[in-house]
Amino acid sequence: MSRDALIVGINNYDYKGLKYLPSPAEDAEAIASILENDGQFNIIRRLPEAIKNIDSTTKSPYISQKGEVSLKQLKDSLVKLFKPESKQIPDTALFYFSGHGIRKTSGITEGFLCTSDVHPDMEFNGLSLKWLRELLQESPIKQQIIWLDCCHSGEFINFSEANPQEVGKGRDRCFIAASREFEEALIDINSKYSVLTKLILEGLESDQYNEKSVTTFSLSNYISEQIKQIKGNLQHPIFTNLGEPITLTYGQKIAAETPKTTETSDICPYKGLRYFELEDHHWFFGRENLTKTLLGKISQKNFLAVLGASGSGKSSVIRAGVLYQLKQGLMLQGSADWEIKIMVPGNQPMFTIAQQFLEPDLSRIERSQQLETAESLLEKGSDGLKRLIETTDAPKVLLIIDQFEEIFAPDTDKAERERFIDCLLGAVDKCNGKLKVMIAMRADFFGKCVEETYSGLSQQIEENLISVTPMTEKELLRAITKPAKQVNLPIEPLLLKEILKDIENSPGSLPLLQDALRELWKQRENQGLTLANYIKIDRVAGSLNKRATDVYQSLTDAQQLTAKHIFLNLTQLGEETEDTRRRVLKADLVTENHDQASIDAMVQLLADEKLIVTDRTQQGDEVIDVAHEALIRYWELLRQWLDESREQLREQRKIEGVDAAPKNLPNIP
């Protein structure tokens, strides 16, 4: 692997308004030395560079405390680092800067790294961070590391022209700034180095960790933990990591590695029809680039809309991808301290959002009192939601609304739908960045958003949209093979080839794929997952249909009638959209023709077969839902039942006054 670095430490400035700095050259040389010795960097260029004689035949470069660096020198060196003319570009490029940094606010706010020849009075301010950002965007180098140790460097990460983040291009980036925008970068009173550089140097020592290498993630985590322990600290380094961890230094692992077993595990590494939860992150592969994109966008925006086909993996990437990374706090500094709420709106979205602000482990009376208070505040709309957001000590509140399309259910009161949307969008504007909202919605429901003004919802979605597109072949291979490797499960190469061919151009096929893989795991043999068994389960497209039909046909005539009754009730009829899932109380499934005992037995059987899922309301009532909408779309027998009884069902639900889930049900996946 080829790795290059540019290390800059400027003590001297011609402009009298910028004082001499005693530490940058020593800071920079210490960074250069540790990268040279432990980082396996091929080329490390130093500025300002001087040469010292080690002996009569050996010379060594070092960073001069008396030298100066011009803007042209710095620009030329950065171009050579990030856009080298050679076709043999490095895999990794690292830029470290220690010196003065300034911010100009005359009309347009801009950040600059000061070179020795700057003269701010003459509008000669040094290296524009807008220019640096554009250079990084055009750079072909996949792993980019930028460390800035200078005063007010938090401005560099806060302002768009200076933020070296970029998403969606498969790049890995680490950005570390010495301080927040209103702080100076200081020398550590117990060290000759600045506060940030001292922490970087300590963090780069591999014996700080029980690992054989130091990565950008472990370094950021070390800095974050150490800063918390410094009492009266006057500066707070900030960081952002996007993409995968980048190895910085290499060392020997201290603890003995756990020997890898060659035995196949009895744990199924595939989710079937259920989406990936936060705790499933170790099985979740293939959506790394989309996760990076979503993290980058939510760090910069206060509203984000995630749209895709049903079955494209929206819920999974939000939970096992974005939510996991936010809670880790290594890609976005401070995100581990965010208050994150995730909800499915149901057909009473204002009530559902009020529930998000109840404290855990309350008595029934306390819960009732808090709920009444929250609902009372939300009656004031966005101002009430703003007050609820302001009560938290968390730096940010991220409200994730999955299955946002549920607000358009036929029995959701139009006025409440409008209040809910107005409340959300209004609070986003009023909370000064403390509230972030991410919605996930089926793409075919976007038309519903433009039927009314809805406080500008459609425009917000268009301006802040991330589309969940079908996974590439490479991503699909990771999603299939990576979980299998973790449990030593072999997969026949011919099977992989057939699966990829079967799901090509199928944007909503991910639940079917996971369901088929789970069925293959159940029938695994010594040789693992085989093509023969894949054909036996009727491939991806037919696996779910075959399994659901086999379960149904194994039932008695009376049981079949009960099963049909349940599945029809679990389907919400589409209004110029596809049919969708419909959560129901189990008690509401009991009728004159289907008694409690029959319903109880059938619900248990279908849940055991992973065709439905169950949960309970806060009052303890059992709630039923289909395992995934893929069942509604791809089970041919259910489609037949729906076609035969669609008009009858519409009339029946019209009479009952309900055409969607009952009120106030919990958020079942």
Closest CA to 280 of 513, 486, 91, 573: 486
Q: What is the DSSP letter of 526?
A: T
| Dist. CA 213–CA 205, nearest whole Å | 9
Tokens for 4? 């290059």
Query: Alpha-carbon distance 28 to 148, whole Å?
Result: 11
The pLDDT, as a whole number, for residue 211 is 59
Q: How far is CA 188 from the centre of its chain?
A: 35
pLDDT of residue 170: 66
User: How high is the pLDDT of residue 201?
Assistant: 94
| Separation of CA 243 from chain center | 10
| Residues linked to residue 339 through DSSP beta bridges, in sequence order | 397
Q: Which domains does the chain have, with CATH numbers?
A: 3-250 (3.40.50.1460), 287-468 (3.40.50.300), 555-656 (1.10.10)
Give the C-alpha separation, 157 to 147, whole Å: 11
Minimal CA–CA distance to 347: which of 583, 573, 566? 583
Give pairs for 555-560: CB < 8 Å, separation 24+.
Answer: 558/598, 559/598, 559/601, 559/602, 559/605
Question: Which pLDDT belongs to residue 645?
Answer: 87
Cβ-based burial of 614 (10 A; exposed 0-12, middle 13-18, buried ≥19): middle
- HEC string for 298-317: HHHCCEEEEEECCCCCHHHH
pLDDT at 255: 38
CA pair distance 275, 280, nearest whole angstrom:
9
Q: What CA–CA distance (Å, rounded) separates 510 from 287? A: 12
φ/ψ (deg, to 5) at 440: -120, 125
Pick from 470, 531, 479: nearest CA to 505: 470
| Per-residue model confidence (pLDDT) at position 45 | 96
Cα 252 from Cα 596, distance rounded (Å): 64
pLDDT at 235: 67
519 φ/ψ angles, rounded to the nearest 5 degrees: -65, -40
Give the separation between CA 621 and CA 635, rounded to whole angstroms: 28
CA distance readout (Å), 228 to 140, 192, 206, 231, 237: 36, 21, 21, 8, 11
- pLDDT, residue 184, reads 62
List the Cα angle 145/149/153 in 5-degree steps. 95
- What's the rounded Cα separation, in Å, for the pair 495 and 485? 15
CA distances from 152 to 346, 404, 429 (A): 46, 40, 27
Tokens of 489: 């499960």
CB distance 92 to 146 below 8 Å: no
Distance CA 378, CA 383 (A): 8
pLDDT at site 58:
73
Q: Provide CB contacts within 8 A for 345, sequence distance 6+.
A: 352, 353, 401, 403, 404, 406, 407, 420
Helix (H, G, I), strand (E, B) or coil at 168: coil
CB-CB contact of 443 with 307 (8 Å): yes
Q: Which residues of the chain register pLDDT less than 50?
A: 159-163, 167-168, 253-261, 658-664, 666-669
pLDDT at 254: 36
